Structure 1
C-alpha cells in the first residue's frame, strides 16, 4: 500500500531527477511569469520548510542554495526524515482545505506543486515532460477538491484552451494556466 509519505517521496524524487537533468541552467526562464528555474526551486524549498515549521516540525538548517540539485536532495531527505518521525505523518490538523494530515498535505499539496513545477523546470531546460494518465487523473482530482481556491492569487492562473485531442498531461497543464506548447524564448 502506498502511503501519503511514500507519494511525497516519489514526487520529490521525480523533481530531483528533473533538476539533475537541468544541467545547472538555474537562470532559465520558466512558464511561470517572471520566474527562473532558481526561483521555482527556491519556492519549493521555502514553502515546504515554512509549512513544516508552522507545524513545529523543523526540518533542520536550510540547505545552501549554490547547487540547487544538491540543495533539493538535502531538503527532500530532511522532509522524509520529518515524515518518518513517530506519529508525524498521521498527525491531523485543520488545514486550508479542511481536516487533514501532515503527510497528506506534503503529498497532495506540496507534492502536487512539485509535479507541476517539475513540468516548469523540465520545459525551461529542454526536457520532455509528461505524467501517466493515472497520475494526471489523480492530480485533477486533487485540484477538484480545492474548488475556486485553485485560481487564487499565487496558486494557478486561469485555464488555457487546448485541442479536444490533447493528452492528459497537456490537459492538466492547461487547466493550471500553463500553455502546453510553451517553449523558452530563443536567445
Structure 2
C-alpha cells in the first residue's frame, strides 16, 4: 500500500469505530452541522465515497440500509473506495475535479478521506464520544484550512444543495490548534 491508501485506512478505521460506538437511540441526535443529525453525517460520508467512484462509471455496490445498519453501509462504501486505492492503474488515473486535475487517489485523499476527520468530530460531538482529533491530522490539515477560498463557503457554488464549508467561526488565536481548525471549517468547538 502507499501513503495515501494507508492514510485512508487509518482514517476509515477511526470513523468506523465512531459509528460502532453510536448507541441505537443516538442516531437522531443533532450534529454540529446545522441541517444534519448523526445518521446524516454518516450518509454524507457514504455519499462522498460514491462521488469518488463516478469518474470511473461506477456506483456504490450493494450495501445494508443506512437506516438499519449504518456501520454495514459505511463498510460497504469503504470497500468500494479501497478497491480503487488498491488498483494501481485506477488509483493513478487522472480526472477533473473541482480542485483541478487530480489522480483518483489524490482526489480520495483530499475529499473522502479528509472528510472523515472533520465529520468524525461531528459524529463524536453528536453522540457524546471523545471528539479529540489526532494532533498529527490537525497539524496536517492546518495549512490548507488557512487557505480555504471564499468560494468554498458559498452554498451551492458547486451545485444545488452542496455546501463545502460553512462560514468561519471566530476562535481565539490562543485556542488549541484543533479548535482553530474547527473554526476555519465552520464549526464552533465550544458549542
Which position in structure 1 is the counterpart of 2:158? none
How many residue pairs match? The answer is 182
What RMSD, in angstroms, separates the aligned Cα atoms of the two structures? 2.0
Give the counterpart of 1:156 among 154, 165, 171: 165
1:134 aligns with 2:133: no
Secondary structure of 2:92's counterpart equals coil
Which residue is 2:183 aligned to?
Answer: 174
- Alpha-carbon contact 2:31-2:126 (below 8 Å) kept: yes
Kindly indicate whether residue 23 of structure 2 is the aligned counterpart of residue 23 of structure 1. Answer: yes
In the TM superposition, residue 104 of structure 1 has moved relative to its aligned partner by 1.2
Q: Distance in 2 between matches of 1:72 and 1:103?
A: 19
Cα distance in 1 for partners of 2:153, 2:122 equals 18
Secondary structure of the structure 2 residue equivalent to 1:107: helix
Structure 1 range deviating more: 51-60 or 3-12:
51-60
Deviation of 1:19 after TM superposition, in Å, equals: 0.9
Q: In terms of mean alpha carbon deviation, does 145-154 or 3-12 score higher?
A: 145-154
Q: CA deviation at 1:46?
A: 1.6
Residue correspondence of structure 1 range 8-19 to structure 2 within 5 A: 8-19=8-19
TM-score by length of 1: 0.87
CA contact (8 A) 1:136 1:168 kept: yes
Aligned to 1:112: 114
- Aligned partner of 1:185 in structure 2 is none
Aligned equivalent of 2:160: none
Residues 89 and 101 in structure 1, CA contact (< 8 A), matched pair in contact too:
yes
Indicate conservation of the 8 Å contact 1:173/1:179, yes or no: yes
CA spacing shift, 1:145–1:95, aligned 2, 3 Å: farther
Q: What is the CA distance between 1:56 and its match in structure 2?
A: 2.0
Does residue 43 (structure 1) correspond to residue 44 (structure 2)? The answer is: yes
Structure 2 gap segments, 5+ residues each: 156-162
CA deviations over 1:151-170 (Å, ceiling 9, x no partner)? 13101111112223211111
Q: Report the TM-score, using the length of structure 2 for normalisation.
A: 0.85
Larger deviation, residues 53-62 vs 80-89: 53-62
Judge conservation of contact 1:97–1:146 (CA < 8 Å) in 2: no
How far did residue 145 of structure 1 move? Answer: 5.7
Q: Secondary structure at the match of 2:149?
A: helix
Instruction: Please report how far the alpha carbon of residue 144 of structure 1 lies from its aligned counterpart in structure 2 after TM superposition.
Output: 4.8
List structure 1 runs of 4+ shifted beyond 6 angstroms: none
Q: Is the 8 A contact 2:145 2:181 kept in 1?
A: no
